């Protein structure tokens, strides 16, 4: 009986202490206010060791011994804007086939050697540049560099691999073009950029059929040049002098060449256009509202990036809250800044049911106009700055993330301090700057509107926004 009473007394005491602790915590925490975000430190770039081989190959080395891993990026000024006009997609096809065989290694041999060193190599092409990306265990750095040099310099585009890739790419293209979002993005680039090479974002079935291995070899020989390239090596690498010596042994006899410039054509001046791509039977309309904008190196880039985040950069953005959360018109509504080396554009994006296209489009246009006319509240601006800064710093925590950002800096011709000053530049943006860039690049008065959907259902409502040009989906 005594033990029972003692146990009961102990339980009561524990409960009393727990209640008291809970009350104390409740007194300290004001749950009516969100927690304060502590100050975010500036990103400090690890020491970069930069050099250049006599043939012009730029080298950037970053030591990171946290893991027994090395990450590599070899980038060239050889993106889609360099495609011949009659062969859109040639840069993409060339990149995809660089790792599918060389003069001394078959596709299978390359794959087996990479697997043996815990490695990977893959090339891909964007609008401006082509990049060979890879990694391997640090003990096998020499072998990774051997394979990298072989695919960059000696890819021989075997006929069977070319044929297989062409077949696969045509099937992939059919699948992509079955998505209204792909059709909308493709048409938007054509409308914004006109005859400029940036207007071509995808190959065509006809261009894929026309491509020969000689076309890919010719593209490689014209544009993959050491004096137009940057090699970034990051990870558990030997001291800089020894690493440069390893690189030179594999790349120093690669001859310089003068690559031809990309074709140029004027970009149309922004003006209100409305293009409807007809897809009979579509129950949704894919909407794009876009305006010619700027490059990443432009002084307005950071204010525009912050403005974009406020308007449509995430789950707390104005477009998302209005179109999805408040009105329930769509699953997603967002905006993007697509900044390339020579040009860029801003776009607001959503996909809505046919019957709510007009009110949804009204809301999107109104939010874009409001950002240009009314100053952003200080609290909202601070939240966005914290979010952007935090995401940016997290992105640089991995070897791959840092290597990608360094590659972007070098291939876009940005200053070396771009990464270190990113968060400071984001934090320095003020409401007046946001309003100014919104007036230049977001205000939809002179924006292109591209909609993909069933013309029989949505053509009439679109007439409210300007003269509608109707095209058949291709």
Please give the pLDDT value at position 256.
95
Q: What percent of the chain has pLDDT over 90?
A: 86
Q: Which of 47-56, 261-270, 278-287, 422-431 has the lowest mean pLDDT?
A: 261-270
**CB-based contact 85:248 (threshold 8 Å):** no
pLDDT for residue 9 is more than 60: no
Rounded Cα gap, residues 277 and 454, in angstroms: 8
Domains of the chain: 49-251 (3.30.830.10), 273-472 (3.30.830.10)
Chain segment 367-377, per-residue pLDDT in tens? 999 999 999 99
For range 352-358, the mean pLDDT: 96
Q: Which two tokens stand for residue 72?
A: 């590599």
Chain segment 183-197, per-residue pLDDT in tens? 999 999 999 999 999
pLDDT for residue 1 is more than 90: no
pLDDT for residue 248 is more than 80: yes
Rounded Cα gap, residues 231 and 149, in angstroms: 11
Please give the pLDDT value at position 358.
97
Q: pLDDT band for position 40 (50/70/90)? A: low
Please give the pLDDT value at position 290.
97
Please give the pLDDT value at position 20.
46
pLDDT for residue 15 is more than 50: no
Exposure string over 352-391, b if 16+ CB within 10 A, otherwise e: bebebbbebbebbbebbbebbeeebeeeebebbbbbbbee
Strands 448-453 and 229-235: unpaired
Q: pLDDT band for position 41 (50/70/90)? A: low
Please give the pLDDT value at position 442.
97
pLDDT for residue 162 is more than 60: yes
Q: Which two tokens stand for residue 355?
A: 């019957």
Please give the pLDDT value at position 259.
87
Q: Which two tokens stand for residue 134?
A: 């890879």
Q: pLDDT band for position 33 (50/70/90)? A: low
**CB-based contact 350:333 (threshold 8 Å):** yes
Helix H or strand E encompassing 275: strand 273-278
What share of residues in the chain are helix, strand, coil (percent, to 5)?
50, 20, 30
pLDDT for residue 21 is more than 90: no
pLDDT for residue 24 is more than 50: no
The partner residues of 155 in beta bridges, in order of sequence, read 102
Please give the pLDDT value at position 120.
96
Averaged confidence pLDDT in the chain: 92
Please give the pLDDT value at position 5.
46
Rounded Cα gap, residues 155 and 107, in angstroms: 10
For range 100-128, the mean pLDDT: 96
**CB-based contact 294:273 (threshold 8 Å):** no
Q: pLDDT band for position 283 (50/70/90)? A: very high
Chain segment 410-455, per-residue pLDDT in tens? 999 999 899 999 999 999 999 999 999 999 999 999 999 999 999 9
Q: pLDDT band for position 291 (50/70/90)? A: very high
Full-model pTM: 0.89
């Amino acid at each position: 009986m005594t033990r029972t009473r003692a146990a009961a007394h102990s339980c009561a005491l524990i409960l009393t202490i727990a209640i008291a602790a809970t009350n104390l915590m409740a007194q300290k925490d004001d749950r009516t206010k969100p927690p304060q975000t502590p100050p975010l430190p500036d990103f400090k770039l690890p020491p970069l060791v930069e050099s250049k081989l006599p043939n012009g190959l730029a080298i950037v080395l970053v030591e990171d011994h946290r893991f027994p891993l090395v990450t590599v990026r070899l980038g060239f000024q050889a993106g889609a804007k360099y495609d011949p006009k009659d062969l859109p997609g040639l840069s993409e096809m060339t990149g995809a086939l660089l790792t599918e065989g060389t003069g001394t290694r078959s596709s299978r041999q390359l794959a087996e050697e990479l697997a043996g060193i815990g490695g990977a190599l893959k090339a891909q092409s964007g609008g401006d540049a082509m990049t060979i990306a890879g990694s391997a265990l640090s003990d096998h750095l020499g072998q990774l560099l051997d394979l990298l040099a072989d695919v960059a310099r000696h890819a021989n585009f075997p006929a069977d691999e070319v044929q297989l890739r062409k077949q696969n790419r045509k099937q992939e293209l059919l699948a992509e073009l079955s998505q209204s979002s792909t059709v909308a993005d493709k048409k938007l680039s054509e409308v914004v950029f006109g005859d400029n090479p940036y207007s071509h974002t995808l190959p065509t079935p006809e261009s894929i059929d026309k491509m020969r291995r000689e076309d890919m070899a010719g593209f490689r020989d014209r544009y993959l040049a050491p004096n137009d390239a940057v090699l970034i090596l990051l990870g558990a690498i030997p001291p800089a002098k020894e690493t440069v010596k390893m690189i030179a042994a594999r790349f120093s006899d690669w001859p310089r060449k003068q690559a031809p410039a990309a074709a140029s054509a004027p970009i149309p001046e922004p003006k209100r256009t409305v293009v409807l791509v007809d897809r009979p039977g579509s129950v949704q309309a894919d909407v794009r509202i876009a305006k010619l904008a700027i490059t990443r190196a432009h002084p307005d880039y950071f204010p525009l990036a912050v403005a974009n985040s406020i308007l449509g950069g995430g789950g707390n953005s104005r477009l998302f809250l209005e179109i999805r959360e408040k009105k329930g018109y769509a699953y997603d509504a967002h905006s993007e800044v697509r900044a390339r080396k020579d040009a860029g554009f801003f776009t607001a994006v959503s996909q809505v049911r046919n019957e709510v296209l007009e009110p949804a489009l009204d809301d999107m246009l109104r939010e874009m106009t409001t950002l240009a006319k009314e100053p952003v509240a200080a609290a909202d601006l601070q939240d966005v700055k914290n979010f952007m800064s935090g995401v940016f710093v997290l992105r640089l925590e991995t070897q791959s993330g840092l290597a990608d950002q360094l590659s972007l800096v070098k291939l876009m011709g940005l200053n070396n301090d771009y990464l270190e000053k990113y968060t400071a530049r984001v934090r320095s943006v003020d409401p007046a700057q946001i309003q100014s860039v919104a007036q230049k690049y977001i205000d939809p008065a002179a924006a292109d509107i591209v909609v993909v959907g069933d013309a029989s259902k949505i053509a009439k409502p679109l007439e409210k926004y300007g003269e509608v040009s109707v095209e058949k989906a291709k």
